[in-house]
Amino acid sequence: MIKETFAKGILLPTQNPESWFGAKYTMNIYRGCEHQCIYCDSRSTCYQIENFDDVEVKINVLDLLQKALKGKRSKAVVGTGSMSDPYTLCEQSYELTRKALRLISSYGFGIHINTKSDMILRDLDILNTFLNRVTVAFTLTTADDNLARFVEPYAPLPSQRLAAMKTLSDAGIPVGVLMMPVLPYIEDTPKGIGRLLEAIAAHGAVFCIWHAGMTCREGQREYYYRKLDEHFPGVKDRYIRQYGNQYACASPQKAALDEKIRAFCEQTGLITDFDTLLKRYPEHQPVQGTLFSE
- Tallying the residues shown for the chain, one arrives at 294
Residue 294 within a domain: no
Residue 55 within a domain: yes
Share of the chain above pLDDT 70, in %: 95
Share of the chain above pLDDT 90, in %: 80
Interval 142-157: pLDDT, tens: 999 999 999 999 999 9
The whole-number average pLDDT for the span 8-15 is: 89
Start-to-end C-alpha separation, the chain: 27
Residue 82 within a domain: yes
pLDDT of residue 33: 85
Residue 18 has pLDDT above 80, yes or no: no
Residue 130 within a domain: yes
Residue pair 134/288 in contact by the 8 Å Cβ criterion = no
Confidence of residue 272 (pLDDT cuts 50, 70, 90): very high
Residue 257 within a domain: yes
pLDDT of residue 285: 61
H/E run at residue 275: helix 274-280
The whole-number average pLDDT for the span 44-64 is: 83
Residue pair 166/126 in contact by the 8 Å Cβ criterion = no
Q: Which of 80, 65, 171 is nearest to 125 (CA)?
A: 171
* One-character DSSP codes across 20-46: TTTEEEEE-SEES-TT--TT-GGGSGG
Interval 253-268: pLDDT, tens: 999 999 999 999 999 9
Residue 292 within a domain: no
Residue 165 has pLDDT above 70, yes or no: yes
Residue 130 has pLDDT above 50, yes or no: yes
Least-confidence region, from 16-20, 64-68, 148-152, 256-260: 16-20
Cα 291 to Cα 294: distance, rounded to the nearest angstrom: 10
pLDDT of residue 143: 97
Chain CA centroid to CA 145, Å: 18
Residue 287 within a domain: no
Average pLDDT, the chain: 92
pLDDT of residue 293: 37
Residue 289 within a domain: no
Partners of residue 4 on adjacent β-strands:
57
Interval 191-229: pLDDT, tens: 999 999 999 999 999 999 999 999 999 889 999 999 999
Please enumerate, as own/partner, the contacts of 264-271 that have beta carbons within 8 Å and a separation of 24 or more: 264/194, 264/197, 264/201, 265/208, 268/201, 270/176, 270/200, 270/201, 270/205, 270/206, 270/207, 270/208, 271/176, 271/206, 271/207, 271/208
The whole-number average pLDDT for the span 4-18 is: 87
pLDDT of residue 63: 96
Interval 109-124: pLDDT, tens: 999 999 999 999 999 9
Half-sphere exposure of 67 (CA within 13 A, CB side): 9
Q: Name the DSSP class of 3.
A: E
Confidence of residue 292 (pLDDT cuts 50, 70, 90): very low
What's the CATH number where 91 sits?
A: 3.20.20.70
pLDDT of residue 289: 46
Domain membership of residue 78 as a residue range: 2-280
- The count of structural domains within the chain is 1
